[in-house]
Amino acid sequence: MTKFVFMTRLYFIIAVLLTVFIRIQADEVRFTASAPAAVEVGEQFRLSFSVNANPSGFQQPGFSSFAVVSGPMSSSSSSVQIINGSVSQSVDYSYTYILQATQEGKYTIEPAKVTVGKKTYLSNALTIEVVKASTSRQSQQQQQQQQQGGTTPVPGGENLFVRVLLSKNTAYRGEPVIATVKIYSKVNLTGINKIEYPGFDGFYKEDIETPPLNSLVRENVDGEIYGTGVLQKYVLFPQRGGKLVISPAKLECVVRQVLQRQPRSIFDDFFGGSYQDVKVAVQSPEVSIQVKDWPPGAPDGFKGAAGHFDLEAKVDKSSVKANEAVTLRITVIGNGNLKLIEKPDITFPADFEVYDPEIRVNVKNSVAGSAGSKSFEYLIIPRHEGKFTIPEVEMAYFDIASKQYKVLKSQPFNLTVEKGAEGDAAAPLPAGVSKEDLKYIGKDIRFIKTGIRKLYKPRQPIFSSRSYLIGYLSLFVLFILFVLYKRNQIKENADIALSRNKRANRKALNRLRTASARLKENRKEQFYEEIVKAVWGYLSDKLIIPVAQLSRETTGYALSANGVEHAVIDRVFELLDECEFARYAPGEGEAQLENVYKRAVELISTLEQVIKKSKLT
């Protein structure tokens, strides 16, 4: 029995190992090289080659342009995962060199070679730019030796700054411009507390998905090496001609500084001495762009579409019965200000009942602009039989590449409408047209009736009868009562809206007090939930937006209509996004929670003042 158990376990272990081996062999081999993109003369840096498989051989490239300080140093790691009976293993082998830049220039490190099994793989090539050593770097060691105490100077100026970079300095109206908010640092930057992104007055703005800034990338900036990072990218569409100015971006950065340079004991060197975190405010300069207006000679129907587009139009049926629905779908595809494209002007036959189109937008924003599609779907109901034609659909736009106007056209659509069922009801016709105008009468002249008929004395007109007068007066009294009732109802509704508006700030403050209590109880999830309810509840009551219609789009439009700046609106949505994220992934410290609470109070106070001022003016 013991031997049987032993053999069973042995077979199981062999099966697991075979499964792992097969999975390792089936995985795609990746062999990559990594190093800084820019270094200074005399600076040492790390060059690493990494492969996700067990190599049997490694051949390094030549390093003739650099001095090899040490290496190669090899290391490996592996891990095994068993999920629902599925076994997987990952391995990583790396070869690391410490190199030193010796002279200025741009140098290419050729691919290295690694052998896995019977195959040879090449890594990616690397281009490294070597710049002249900066004065600050050359004198850094001397300054450290001479400084006996105190703190290092507060960073700023050329050591830490932020810029708003534009992809072009001139553009046409509606032409996409990429704006990048980027930070540059030569100091020990440990974090960014506050970010106030620039205002883009005169532009239609779309965010480009930008990964969070976790680390800075070395970059050569006018011969100096900076750690750089992209905070946010936008696609901007200028909405008017002339010179447009973009306001500054403002940041509050946290920089770590050395408090004590001269060690007091041998333990100071071991533990790294004393440090302090200093808050440093930086601000980008204003930038401007010259926007050219569209050239003259715009075709009829031009509504501001700019870019490069194609037009598709189709109907789902060419033959229907009266009172059956037909769908006309018009789709604009391309790259440009798609979200700003308006519905085309179409002259439908008078017998067609046409509903407002359903609009669908599928756009992806990137550094290449906004690409995708926008569709308009019309629901059409023909009310009478016959043969009808939906005319061709036209859309005019300004082509950015050719700097010319272009007109897109679809084909016309012929629609055959057959007689519907007898019980189907027809919709009302346009004003001035009666059904008798369209009704076919089989005979133009009726024959005179022959034969003697009995004649009757005409009755008294109903307008002069007592019953008519009583009925007329009754209807008039009922109408007056109805008007008074509606006026009273409107007044009550207005009072409710006014009451909600007045109570908005008080209700928000009550929720914030509840959030403060949850913060003291260390109930983080409930704290964020109360903050979200306080902000959304305030916006709903103050802007008189029903909860069912409360969304980013309606809220942003209402805030803008009440004179709230775009920067403040962005801060409101950033706070809500941060709270929603933290509710499901909590992990912030107490200081961060206090910061969220203070920002919520500050935002609600700011909104209250701005909206009150807007209503007074």
Between helix 524-542 and helix 566-584 the angle, nearest 10°, is 150
Reported as type and span, the H/E element at residue 487 is helix 466-520
Identify the weakest region by mean pLDDT among 394-403, 450-459, 559-568, 592-601.
450-459
pLDDT of 428 higher than 60: no
The pLDDT of residue 310 is 92
Residue 225 DSSP SS3: strand
Residue 171 DSSP SS3: strand
Q: What residue spans define the domains of the chain?
A: 2-133, 150-292, 302-418, 495-616
Cα torsion angle, 127, 132, 135, 138, sign: positive
pLDDT bucket at 54, cuts 50 / 70 / 90: confident
The Cα 614–Cα 607 span in angstroms is 10
Two domains, one topology: 150-292 and 495-616: no
The pLDDT of residue 6 is 59
Identify the weakest region by mean pLDDT among 22-26, 211-215, 304-308, 451-455.
22-26
Topology of the domain covering 302-418 = Immunoglobulin-like (2.60.40)
Question: Is 311 or 10 the better-scoring residue by pLDDT?
Answer: 311
Give residue-wise pLDDT tens across range 356-399. 899 999 999 988 889 999 999 999 888 888 889 889 999 999 99
Task: Calculate mean pLDDT across residues 531-540.
Answer: 83
Question: Is 575 or 402 the better-scoring residue by pLDDT?
Answer: 402
The Cα 238–Cα 317 span in angstroms is 40
pLDDT of 337 higher than 80: yes
How confident is the prediction for the chain on average, in pLDDT? 78
pLDDT of 417 higher than 50: yes
The pLDDT of residue 430 is 45
280 neighbors 255 (Cβ within 8 angstroms) = yes
Residue 538 DSSP SS3: helix
Q: Measuring CA to CA, which residue among 267, 266, 170, 185 is closest to residue 224?
A: 185
The pLDDT of residue 172 is 92
CATH architecture of the domain 495-616 equals Up-down Bundle (1.20)
The Cα 25–Cα 19 span in angstroms is 10
Question: Is 505 or 315 the better-scoring residue by pLDDT?
Answer: 315
The pLDDT of residue 92 is 81
The Cα 504–Cα 612 span in angstroms is 12
pLDDT bucket at 69, cuts 50 / 70 / 90: confident
The Cα 320–Cα 186 span in angstroms is 72
- Residue 205 half-sphere exposure, CB side, CA atoms within 13 Å? 18
Task: Calculate mean pLDDT across residues 403-416.
Answer: 90
Identify the weakest region by mean pLDDT among 80-84, 444-448, 537-541.
444-448
The Cα 337–Cα 78 span in angstroms is 49
Assign 3-state DSSP to the chain and report helix, strand, coil percentages, each to 5. 30, 35, 35
* Residue 88: strand pairing partners: 81
Task: Calculate mean pLDDT across residues 245-258.
Answer: 88
pLDDT bucket at 46, cuts 50 / 70 / 90: confident
The pLDDT of residue 429 is 45
The count of other CB atoms within 10 Å of the CB of residue 573 is: 13
Task: Calculate mean pLDDT across residues 578-590.
Answer: 69
Phi-psi label, residue 285: left if phi above 0, alpha if psi -120 to 50, beta otherwise:
beta
Q: Which amino acid is at 472?
A: Y
Q: Kindly report the CATH class assigned to 150-292.
A: mainly beta
Q: How much of the chain exceeds pLDDT 70, in percent?
A: 76
Instruction: Please tell me whether the peptide bond between 72 and the residue prior to it is cis, using omega within 30 degrees of 0.
Output: yes
Give residue-wise pLDDT tens across range 109-166. 888 888 888 888 888 888 888 887 765 554 444 444 444 444 444 555 688 899 999 9
The pLDDT of residue 441 is 41
pLDDT bucket at 10, cuts 50 / 70 / 90: low
The pLDDT of residue 291 is 92
Reported as type and span, the H/E element at residue 405 is strand 404-409
- Residue 542 half-sphere exposure, CB side, CA atoms within 13 Å? 29
Q: Kindly report the CATH class assigned to 2-133.
A: mainly beta
The count of other CB atoms within 10 Å of the CB of residue 576 is: 19
Tokens, residue 590: 């107490």
Give residue-wise pLDDT tens across range 261-308. 555 555 555 555 577 888 889 999 999 999 999 999 889 888 889 999
